[in-house]
Structure 1
């Protein structure tokens, strides 16, 4: 996908996402987590579309401190920065791809499901392999559960935008990812939005 079309997809799929409100930007509002407080203060006055590049660059670790609602709302700002200013974005593209990758513990379940699916007749009426896959993934360890919980809140259009982001990273910057991380992220979860 061309950069201009990808940016338009971000705007279209995330453009109407409601701001989570100051109290729901980060996952810890106790005041004791100074990094979370700093992120909340830096982000609260901005929409994802107006969040300054300087703030995004300074708060590169913010993805790990955002609440579910804050993550969903501010993710497109990071996606946009990563594709528009890849070199200047420093570690943001790597951090995004990592955050968008289903944990490796899921590999065992995915492999077992593939074997079972191919051992059985694929044309079984009434069998929804996607539902079976999602059900099994929810039963994995806490990291995997947290991943599924965080990303199932995204709409199909937002899932497509994330898929296209990963495909763009794979296609445009593939050699920078020595272990083919964008492709792995797609294969583990985001393929379903293609």
Structure 2
């Protein structure tokens, strides 16, 4: 599919999406949560079609701080930016694919392998990687539940466009995902395939 066609379809599928409200953009509105406050202040009152590429790039690592409703509302902005400027978007594509991938226990085995492969426990000795992996394993069901709660807000037409977006990345940038643990195909195989 041509990128222009995909972008037009995404715009159409999300065009009637309602702004979630100023207090429903991020998952934590308390003044103590710095990252959520920063993200909220940058996106507050902005329609998804008004978001600039610069703002998206500045917030490429902030996706987890959106509320489920905020994430859904701004999702088309992030997808369109990545489609238009894949390499310029830097790590945003990996971050978005990660959020769109249903978590599984195998992810932790891959993470443990990478920790050993890159000797991260030696490079960052003050961080307890073993404890972190056990904590992640204990919360896998909660993370699966969070994923399902998040994606169920995305309607069928929009979900079909998420699938097409992931397929576009996999088909147009296959070499970017050879040694990358974050793969569009994994996201497709675990959840989005059903919207074919």
- Same fold per TM (> 0.5)? yes
Displacement of 1:54: 1.1
Which position in structure 2 is the counterpart of 1:97?
97
Q: Matched residue of 2:18: which SS?
A: coil
Displacement of 1:106: 8.2
Contact kept in structure 2, 1:105 and 1:141, CA below 8 Å: no
Question: In the TM superposition, what whole-angstrom CA distance separates every residue of 1:40-63 from its partner, at most 9, and x where no partner exists?
Answer: 010013111111111111111221
Contact kept in structure 2, 1:18 and 1:73, CA below 8 Å: yes
Paired with 1:158 and 1:105, the residues of 2 have a C-alpha distance of 27
Question: In the TM superposition, what whole-angstrom CA distance separates every residue of 1:53-111 from its partner, at most 9, and x where no partner exists?
Answer: 1111111122100001101001111101111011110101111111111112389xxxx
Structure 1's 106 and 16: CA in aligned 2 closer, same or farther, altered over 3 A? farther
Q: Matched residue of 2:50: which SS?
A: coil
Which position in structure 2 is the counterpart of 1:48?
48
Which position in structure 2 is the counterpart of 1:133?
none
Normalising by structure 2, we get a TM-score of: 0.79
Contact kept in structure 2, 1:27 and 1:66, CA below 8 Å: yes
Contact kept in structure 2, 1:106 and 1:144, CA below 8 Å: no
Paired with 2:142 and 2:106, the residues of 1 have a C-alpha distance of 11
Paired with 2:7 and 2:84, the residues of 1 have a C-alpha distance of 9
Which position in structure 2 is the counterpart of 1:20?
20
Which position in structure 1 is the counterpart of 2:79?
79
Paired with 1:106 and 1:18, the residues of 2 have a C-alpha distance of 36
Displacement of 1:22: 0.6
Contact kept in structure 2, 1:26 and 1:40, CA below 8 Å: yes
Aligned residues: 162
Which position in structure 1 is the counterpart of 2:168?
168
Paired with 1:64 and 1:167, the residues of 2 have a C-alpha distance of 23
- In structure 1, the gaps of 5 or more residues are 108-139
Tell me whether 153-162 or 175-184 shows the greater mean CA deviation. Answer: 175-184
Q: Matched residue of 1:141: which SS?
A: helix
Paired with 2:9 and 2:174, the residues of 1 have a C-alpha distance of 21
Residues 134-153 of structure 1 mapped to structure 2, 5 A cutoff = 141-153=141-153
Paired with 2:37 and 2:104, the residues of 1 have a C-alpha distance of 31
Normalising by structure 1, we get a TM-score of: 0.80
